[in-house]
Structure 1
Amino acid sequence: MSIFSGIWIPLITPFQAGAVDHRALAALVEHYREAGVAGFAALGTTGEPAALSGEEQDAVLATVLRAAQGLPVIAGITGNRAVALRERVLQLNDQDIAGVLVSAPYYIRPSQGGLIEHFTTLADASAKPIVLYDIPYRTGVRIELETLLTLAGHPRIQAIKDCSGVSETTLALILDGRLKVMCGNDDAIFTTLCMGGAGAIAATAHVRTDRFVAMYRALAQGDLNTGRAIHHELAPLLRALTSEPNPAPVKAALAGQGWLANELRSPMMPASAGLARQLAALSAV
């Protein structure tokens, strides 16, 4: 069975007085491990990697790997300089990671042919499995279905974090079967799992993690009634956690629970006071 299934946490990066709070990060990883998550994504969008130096990124990954205690960890990379990205993949070959999460290059909006070259070059350089990251509202370019099916033929391209928002593409990939489809749009987790998706890499699962895990397990076992009930239970929390730019709502909720300081790096801003109060109530349910 592929490791790319179940509920994965795309970890936030806690800060304290401007510095990375490794103690809080390790405590969160331990907490999520005990809640039954299947794995972790470090240095993805939710982790604010663009605001971290190279040294900070390496330190964050090291902390996550230690605290994960054997649970799989994938490391995110993004950018638009092909040479630098390939060098980063080669560096990650020496890390004890389960895979590399790779998005389309941002800002430059390459052609679909350019995307095939981008992902294929990195997959050729990687000793680890590649998880494609299709998130067009951040990169400015969508990885089209035909392109995804072409990339699925590469032996190291094994899964996708699907943030396309196009249900036809999601279903086509599930039916094709070569890529494990991990939902990345949190409001589509229930639908993706019901269609046969492998799991989710879900920022909202930072909060009430055990219920997300329970929903996945119920649906994986064919218990639609229980899965639907948990989805309905979580719906208000999902709406609140996605109502302002990620990861501000997640950090506000975790700060309200005492896990970390409510800090983000500029130009990201903390969640509004009203949302923080709403999240405090929803997180305590």
Structure 2
Amino acid sequence: MLSENDLHGIYVPVITPFDTQERLDVESFERYLTSLIQHDMDGIVLNGTTGESPTTAWDEVGRLAEAARACMRSKALPLVIGSGTNSTAESVRRTEAAGLWGADAVLAVTPYYSRPSEEGVIEHFRRIASVGFPVIAYEVPSRTGVTLSAETMKRILDLDGIIGLKDASGGTSLAEKLLPNCQKPILCGEDAHLLEMLQLGAAGGMLASANVHTTAFLDVYAQAASGNMSLAAATFDRLLPLIRLLFRESNPAPLKWLLARQGHIASDTLRCPMARISDALQEELSALSEVIA
């Protein structure tokens, strides 16, 4: 199981491949993941936003977890499974299941849609953490409709069992307030802000963009961790145009298109209501991905 001290570096949230009939494509998943883990990232995240968690059934997550563990058998790589929903009871049940499936920690998003009070959100995380399995909190207000104050997030991070935070709050303001007074690791979850977050003292990132040009993202982290911020900035600047294109239309649609084009998965199919990317974005991604080292 992951501890606070283990939570650092670059974690890659993986996509969930579907065939053209929107059925789970485990064969593509195994091929894609086997290729991806040849890189020395610090962990894999299954069933996150990038994995289309809103439309992936929980039993399908179990099948993917089994496949992931088989692919990763020869490599000691942490597996984080997204278990958070807008139902506290369901999130608890999923956290228990993720532990049985061999996860090393779970990623639990701030409960969405219901627009709970901040006290309700704290209790939500307290109950998930009471399972006794490591929990990474995930703040992403652009998707949940809930924006937590730094004070509330600090109370969540102070809970036993919460080992860190994925901060996709849309900027660096939350991290700026938390990092000086927080002993638990904060990972950047907003790809375009990776360099800024590392400069502030973030422990790393959970980055969908790191599915492609993975080595360059690992270099950014390693260069920053060694104190060579100017080199990290130069490396990151080369990646930034691609990051911006990958998030121009809703993630993971651009990423899936690119992975399919590169032959890592058989199809860029997404589950409705997600739709494939525009022709214009396809052209831009195709041109840009060829020139980034």
**CA offset at residue 194 of structure 1?**
1.2
Scaled by the length of structure 1, the TM-score of the pair is: 0.95
Tell me the alpha carbon deviations over residues 177-201 of structure 1, each in whole angstroms, 9 at most, x when there is no partner: 3221110111101100111100110
SS of corresponding position for 2:137: strand
Aligned to 2:244: 239
Aligned to 1:116: 122
Gaps of 5+ in 1: none
Tell me the alpha carbon deviations over residues 30-71 of structure 1, each in whole angstroms, 9 at most, x when there is no partner: 222212211011000110122122221211122122223320
Scaled by the length of structure 2, the TM-score of the pair is: 0.93
Aligned to 2:19: 16
Q: Distance in 1 between matches of 2:72 and 2:85?
A: 26
SS of corresponding position for 1:131: strand
- Is the contact made by 1:42 and 1:61 (CA closer than 8 Å) also made in structure 2? yes
SS of corresponding position for 2:100: coil
Q: Distance in 2 between matches of 1:91 and 1:255?
A: 31
**CA offset at residue 272 of structure 1?**
1.0
Worse-superposed segment, 214-223 or 270-279: 270-279
Worse-superposed segment, 138-147 or 241-250: 138-147
Aligned to 2:56: 52
SS of corresponding position for 1:19: coil
Aligned to 1:251: 256
Q: Distance in 1 between matches of 2:93 and 2:39?
A: 35
The sequence identity of aligned pairs, in percent, is: 32
- Is the contact made by 2:91 and 2:128 (CA closer than 8 Å) also made in structure 1? yes
Question: Residue type of the partner of 2:276?
Answer: P
Given the alignment, which residue of 193, 199, 207 partners 1:202?
Answer: 207
Q: Distance in 1 between matches of 2:123 and 2:233?
A: 40
Aligned to 1:152: 157
Tell me the alpha carbon deviations over residues 183-224 of structure 1, each in whole angstroms, 9 at most, x when there is no partner: 011110110011110011001111111111111111111111
Q: Distance in 2 between matches of 1:22 and 1:194?
A: 38
Instruction: Please tell me whether residue 282 in structure 1 is matched to residue 288 in structure 2.
Output: yes
1:174–1:65 Cα change, 3 Å: farther
- Is the contact made by 2:65 and 2:101 (CA closer than 8 Å) also made in structure 1? no
Worse-superposed segment, 106-115 or 254-263: 254-263
Q: Distance in 2 between matches of 1:232 and 1:188?
A: 11
Question: Residue type of the partner of 1:107?
Answer: Y
- Is the contact made by 1:77 and 1:102 (CA closer than 8 Å) also made in structure 2? yes
Question: Residue type of the partner of 2:185?
Answer: K
**CA offset at residue 166 of structure 1?**
4.2
Q: Distance in 2 between matches of 1:19 and 1:284?
A: 30
Q: Distance in 1 between matches of 2:208 and 2:180?
A: 26
